[in-house]
Structure 1
Amino acid sequence: MALKVLILGGSGFVGRHLIEHLQRAGAEVTAPTRRLASAREIWPLPCVTVLEADVTQPETLARLLPGHDAVVNLVATLHGSAARFEHLHVELPRRLAQACAATGVRRLVHVSALGAAADGPSRYQRSKAAGEAVLQEAAVAGRIDLTVLRPSVIFGADDHFMTLFARLQRWFPLIPLAGADARFQPVWVRDVADALVRCLQRATTIGQTYEACGPEVYTLRELVRLAGQWAGVREGRGRPILGLPGPLAWLQALAMECLPGQPLLSRDNLDSMKVDNVASGQSPGLDALGITPASLLAVGPWMLGTAGNAARLEVLRSYAGR
């Protein structure tokens, strides 16, 4: 019998890749979205039901959960007010746990964030930790069977991370960079999707928290430089990068918050970068799920389109051999 999975946030970056992996595993997927237009990439996929629904409403969850074997929560935001972080990162998990208990859908895989901590420097990190705590409380009480995945920053061909850095260097002759020395351990989106599928398939992952990280650690400055080089900016040299000191970085973040649309950087993002976004070693990693994470050095040049067919085939070959 096919596994039936409800994915909250299924039309997003990670969600689209997760649905692809679940399709390959023979699962049936329900993907609610607030706007059908935002899910157009997953409309044509077989065994996927796309519904227009606001999953932050308790009655919606109670209506959607029955008939499913498991639910994956990918809903998150990087920007916004304290109330928005509380609404999406804490209240939604609380309502989801309550709906799971009420409908008998016990299996829940929750995507949190590396660096989530009650004493973290940013609202993002503290709200993510609070959301985890709500779910862990429900799990201890026996109301849900919980697995938590904590990824570092996630990259992929359609991300808003490495591809954004590449685009910025096509537009600007100099990159003033806040948080230039912040350290990250970027993980490929396909590895994250693979990890989520394995968590769903394996009862042994219940009660576990996994750190999803790639094999290398980079500073933000190094990541921006690599993005420019791989995108072929200035014949592969990339743009000069100017690391901003604390006060100027804060002003840059404030200015970007005032621009229309989603900001490229916020003051809360800057606060998050005060602590390294790397594996703590205190929780199992992707290797515990049988996954050897892909190197950014292997995927990045192919992803940004300047490495040629040899690099593209090598990445696909390594992935197909898993």
Structure 2
Amino acid sequence: MQSILVLGGTGFVGTQVCRQLVRQGLSVTLPTRRGGNARHLQHLPGVTVLEMDVHDEAALARAAAGHDAMVNLIAILHGNAAAFDKAHVVLPQKLARVCQAQAIGKLVHVSALGANDARPGQAPSEYLRSKGRGEAVLHRAAAESALDLTVLRPSVIFGAQDQFLNLFARLQAVFPVMPLAGAHARFQPVWVDDVAAAIVCSLQRSVLRQASGGAVRVVEACGPDVYTLKELVQMAGQFSGANGGRGRPVIALPDALGRLQALLMEFAPGPTLMSRDNLDSMKVDNIATGLVPGLQALGISPAHLEPIAREYLRRA
């Protein structure tokens, strides 16, 4: 395998994926709507940046021609049903057709923990329902073709450039208390470098064949430790030195007040920090089910959150 098309490669996870692919001596093509978004990656050897709209199927097919594999990292956390459908369902449909038309034999698709391709309608949020429908599209494509498919389902992803722990650290630098919706929701955070390594590993190894059609592997990408959201917020404050290293008091909001907080944040100016759909996602614990393989099946021993987060939050 020589050339990889990486969709969503300029983002938090995609940046690490591109860097790891380059270290493996692979060439990377990076489509992006704005070329400036890839400025931090253009210096890497073997990286080619294409300024284009990945939702334009004809343009995507032209970009994919001649590549051995594709990685899809495109996702949104906030939006209405149509926006989720466009990003998480319609785009995978286009990817399946492009893979078939361009004879691309391998696809790594990053989904989300809690998505269910067999019963997507049972998920509690539009985010997770759309993720499940997108997985189902690709599973059908693999069953009907020679497509080699890996679906990664990560829990919340942490790392030096994350918009999760860093966000809670920044908020505690400003506010004296932290009223928190969904405080008791549980997560199994995974390090961004481990997710990137899982993607690279999935591109480089074969997977078990089904009775007919292509090969499919579903992997739950989770770290070794489980935390409540409240515990993660407290750690973010402590590690970043807020309130003399004690962090701010975290007040768990009852459901009704939590939904009101999320509603207000949906309509607040600037980037959306929390939505009602996010709260709906937290109705199910964001932890490994154990029903499918974890990172260990790819030869990856997932890193613990605390020593890594302590270091980058202290520096920030």
Task: Give 1:39 deviation, angstroms.
Answer: 1.7
Match of 1:166 in 2: 169
Distance 1:305 1:298 in 2: 11
Kindly indicate whether the alpha-carbon contact (under 8 Å) linking 2:66 and 2:102 is maintained by their aligned counterparts in 1.
no
SS at match of 2:242: coil
1:232–1:306 Cα contact (<8 Å) kept: no
Contact 1:230 1:306 in 2 (8 A): no
8 Å Cα contact 1:231-1:304 kept in structure 2: yes
Is the contact between residue 191 and residue 293 of structure 1 (CA under 8 Å) also seen in structure 2?
Answer: yes
Q: 1:197 aligns with which of 175, 200, 203?
A: 200
Contact kept, 8 Å, 1:100 with 1:143, in 2: the verdict is no
Find the counterpart in structure 1 of residue 212 from structure 2.
Answer: none
Preserved contact between residue 100 and residue 145 of structure 2 (Cα < 8 Å): no
**Corresponding residue number in structure 2 for 1:313:** none
1:30 corresponds in structure 2 to 29
Cross-structure match for 2:79: 80
Q: TM-score, normalised by structure 1?
A: 0.93
Matched, 1:51 2:60: no
SS of 2:30's partner is: strand
Tell me if structure 2 keeps the 8 A contact 1:85–1:127.
Answer: yes
Q: How many Å separate the matches in 2 of 1:143 and 1:259?
A: 47
Matches of 2:76 and 2:270 in 1, distance apart?
14
Structure 1, unmatched stretches of 5+, are 308-322
Moved beyond 4 Å, runs of 4+: none
Assess if the C-alpha contact under 8 Å between 2:218 and 2:293 holds in 1.
yes
The aligned counterpart of 1:92 is 91
TM-score by length of 2: 0.95
- Aligned equivalent of 1:320: none
SS, match of residue 25 in structure 2: coil
In the alignment, structure 2 segments of 5+ residues that lack a partner are 209-214
Count of residues in Structure 1 that have an aligned counterpart in Structure 2: 306
Q: 2:188 aligns with which of 185, 188, 210?
A: 185
Identical aligned residues as a percent: 58
Deviation track 1:193-241 (CA, whole Å, cap 9, x = no partner) reads 0010000000126411000000000000000000000001112100000
The equivalent residue for 2:160 is 157
Find the residue that maps to 1:6 and give its secondary structure: strand
Amino acid paired to 1:174: V
RMSD over aligned Cα, in angstroms? 1.2
- SS of the aligned residue for 2:207 comes to helix
In structure 1, the residue matched to 2:127 is: 124
